[in-house]
Structure 1
């Protein structure tokens, strides 16, 4: 009887949380589309302040050194995406 209650509870939690996973994945994908690589920044991106200056020069509101594809650090400019 205890095992049946435990399995029932686990199934209920599973059914509650699985549909919500898509929400988090969509938000992450949307956030990734809001960043574009800088066209003018040259060299390794070590100081976000330098990246910020390059992005502002390119008429973006913000920029920072970000890890791209898990290992490359690039100067990425924020486009100011609005969530819908």
Structure 2
């Protein structure tokens, strides 16, 4: 009788541990911020430096900007969180 009680207690403990680890393994999804891009109206010429592009974008009330290739040309695109 004592052996079956120990076996039942051990099985119950193992089951509780398995359930606890499954509950702890759930992943939390974090929403990622997306950036909206808009081609700069004030930037002139080929965009060779993202820091220059960002500076021009700040004059257009955007927090940041970066160079992107579009149809064989490098253009300045301003970006902000959507």
TM-score (norm 2): 0.53
The gaps in structure 1 that reach 5 residues or longer are 1-29
- The offset of 1:68, in angstroms, is 2.2
The gaps in structure 2 that reach 5 residues or longer are 1-33
TM-score (norm 1): 0.52
Aligned equivalents of 2:80, 2:51: Cα separation in 1: 17
- The offset of 1:72, in angstroms, is 2.3
Aligned equivalents of 2:44, 2:80: Cα separation in 1: 19
Partner SS for 2:43: coil
Checking the alignment, whether the CA contact within 8 Å between 2:37 and 2:78 is kept in structure 1 is yes
Aligned residues: 49
